[in-house]
Amino acid sequence: MSTNEKPCTIRECADAVRAAIERNGTNLEGLRSDLLEAARPFISRDDLFELGTKRPGNHIDNSKYIYYDGELSITLDQLPKDMVVPPHDHGIWEALIILKGRLHHSVYDRLDDGSKDGHAELKQIEDKIFQPMELAMVIPPAEIHSFTALEEETFILTIVGGNYAANRHYYNVEENTYVVAKAGAVKPKKAA
């Protein structure tokens, strides 16, 4: 944050994110870049890590609500190093802005037609390491991802544009299977 700039409030950040969502409509690629721009003044705050209210994280212990209005949610999450969050879907887009550390993030397409219960064929379509101030995103229909923090202090700002599907799929890519589970019910494992 430069000295002549007032810190961006949580409300201003949420307003900017909402405006980005409205401005882009179904242009989800535009949303990707606009979300980062919208969040940038906020995530530049010196006191960023002191903000928020503790929440029960889906996969992690250290998670805080920055903002939630019943649809839009913005959370600040610490990801333990080497913890593999297995491939899962959401029913909605999800954006992860890296604040500290590094994040290995993979996105998958589902190739099968979903006709066989418990069976899913995934194809990896993105496999990338993200650095601070970069944004990883999943957007329907390619909204399956997995990720792993590569450093001890890896923090992300997670922005979700609406409510997650009540039942989500957690996939096993090697075995071409999935289970339906409530968010967070499938526990992450340590990277080999």
- List contacts with Fe ion (CB under 5 A): 94
Please, which residue, 77 or 94, has the CB nearer to Fe ion?
94
CB proximity list for 103: less than 8 A, separation 6 or greater: 79, 96, 129, 130, 136, 147, 148, 149, 150, 154, 156
Q: Which of 55, 50, 101, 46 is nearest to 74 (CA)?
A: 55
Q: How far is the CB of 178 from Fe ion (least distance, A)?
A: 15
CB of 7 to Fe ion, least distance (A): 28
Residue matched to tokens 């418990």: 118
Q: Cβ(81)–Cβ(151) under 8 Å?
A: yes
Q: How far is the CB of 4 from Fe ion (least distance, A)?
A: 37
Q: Which is nearer to Fe ion, 34 or 94 (CB)?
A: 94
- The minimum distance between CB 86 and Fe ion, in angstroms, equals 10
User: 7 vs 140, which CB is nearer to Fe ion?
Assistant: 140
Q: Closest separation between CB of residue 142 and Fe ion, Å?
A: 13
Please give the residue whose beta carbon sits closest to Fe ion in the complex: 94
Phi, psi values for residue 169, rounded to 5°? -100, 135
- Closest Cα partner for 73 from 165, 159, 10? 159
Q: At what angle do helices 10-24 and 28-43 cross, to 10 degrees?
A: 170
